[in-house]
Each structure stands twice: as C-alpha cells, then as structure tokens.
Amino acid sequence: MSLYSLVKSLADNKQLLGMRYAEWCTAAPSLEADIAAAAMGLDDIGHSRVLYGSLRELGTPDGASDEGDLAGVAYLDTPWTDWRQFVAANAVLDSAFSLMIEALANGNVEVLRSRLKKMLQEERYHAMHGHSWMREADAGDAVTQAWQESLEWFGPEAGEVDALQRQGTLTYGVRDLRRLLAERVEGRPPDTAIDWSKWDAIRRRTAPGGIDQATRDMLQGLAEKRYMPASG
C-alpha cells in the first residue's frame, strides 16, 4: 500500500497547494505576483488531477479507499494570512513535492514515468518564482515551518520511501531528498528534531488537525473531477 498512499498524499497536497496559491491571485504584493499565483494554482490543481488519475491505474489496495480525508500537511490546513507564508510554501514545500514527482517520474512504474515527466517543466517555473521571492522577502518563521513539514512529509530514514527506492519505484531515498531540497532552496534545514513516534504514515505529518470547513466546502466543486482519468 505504500506507493498508493504516497501518490495519494502527493495528489492531495498538490490540490491543496493549488487552492492556497489561487487564494492569493488578487492579494499578492504586485500584479505580476497575482498572475503567477493564479497560474501556479491552476498548474497544481491540474497536476493533482493527473496524480489522482494515476491512482486508478495503480489499483486500490485492499482496505484502502480513494475517497476520504485529504492527506495534506499541516501547513495547508488553513488559508495563509501573510505573504511570507506563500513565499515559504512556494520555495520549500513546492520544491519538496517537485522532488518526489521527479523521483517517481524516473522510477520503474510505467504509468508514473509516462505521466509525471510532463509536470517537471511547470515545476521548474514554480521554483524560479520561489527563489526570486525568497531573495526579496524575509519569510522567517514561515520558512522554518515549511522546512519542518517538508522533512516530515519525506518520512523517516529506513521507512517506506527508502524501501521504494530499493525497489526502483523511486530514484531518491530520504537522505537524497533532504540533500536535494537543501540545494534547491539554497539553505539549511532548521535545527529541530522530529518526534517520529507522533508521525502518521498515511497523512505523513506529526501534527493533529486537518483542513478547515471553508476549504472542505471549496473542494466540493472539485470532488467529481478528482479521479477523472487524465489524458496520457
């Protein structure tokens, strides 16, 4: 079930990230940033649809459901109230998700290889904006939180991500993902320890909670499209 739950978590987070980006399409500090927020929001909602469509072809494991609560990180539970939260999400969280897409796209599962590679060009565009905004804004605590939750989302060493790498399903293990994220963000991870005893392997986070009711209501409009087959 590990590959299925990982891809579903990636799809859930991409959908939520796209919605959070879109919420800033008229609230960013400049017209250029407004337009970029809207474009990246559309990209990520589209990426989530491709990932959800891939779940059908991966096959639902016994005891699993493709419905139910979203397996999103805590950073995306509620709308952002500060532009610095947007910047940190774009520079750090989005880069973490992009690295996992890259690891899956270069792995040995054909449906993922054929579909996910098309996303990587758009993800590079997201990274370009993230780096630019990081140079202009002191995102401070938001960056620390985004880093922490990215590392939690990758999971512990010697866990399912490392097992999937050994099988060839992923081309990166946890240490690779951490190192590559530091290179792409051009910064060091926070010096905080993760209490893996509190880690939820399905939701890929240590914090309790979940999305707010307003977000649930907005998702109703996307629900019937979430698992539509994506064109290959």
Give residue-wise pLDDT tens across range 141-169: 888 999 999 999 999 999 999 999 999 99
The answer to whether the beta carbons of residues 80 and 217 sit under 8 Å apart is: no
232 vs 105 pLDDT, higher one: 105
Question: What is the per-residue pLDDT across 11-36, written as a single tens digit (0 to 9) for each?
Answer: 999 999 999 999 988 888 788 888 98
Question: First and final CA of the chain: distance in angstroms?
Answer: 23
Q: How far apart are CA 45 and CA 25, in angstroms?
A: 14
- b/e 167-194 (16+ beta carbons within 10 angstroms → b): eebbebbbebbbebbeebbeeebeeeee
pTM: 0.88
**Tell me, what's the pLDDT at 228?**
52
Q: Residue 114: pLDDT above 70?
A: yes
The answer to whether the beta carbons of residues 230 and 49 sit under 8 Å apart is: yes
What CATH fold (topology level) applies to the domain 2-223?
Ferritin (1.20.1260)
119 vs 75 pLDDT, higher one: 75
The answer to whether the beta carbons of residues 10 and 72 sit under 8 Å apart is: no
In this prediction, residue 215 has a pLDDT band, given cuts at 50, 70 and 90, of: confident
Q: What are phi and psi of 117, to 5 degrees?
A: -60, -25
The answer to whether the beta carbons of residues 3 and 60 sit under 8 Å apart is: no
200: helix, strand or coil: strand
Q: At what angle do helices 2-22 and 94-105 cross, to 10 degrees?
A: 140
Contacts of 221 (CB under 8 A, 6+ apart): none
Q: How far apart are CA 97 and CA 100, in angstroms?
A: 5
pLDDT mean over 73-97: 93
Q: How far apart are CA 5 and CA 3, in angstroms?
A: 6
The answer to whether the beta carbons of residues 78 and 212 sit under 8 Å apart is: yes
Q: Concatenate the DSSP letters of all residues of 100-122 into one string.
A: HHHHHHTSS-HHHHHHHGGGHHH
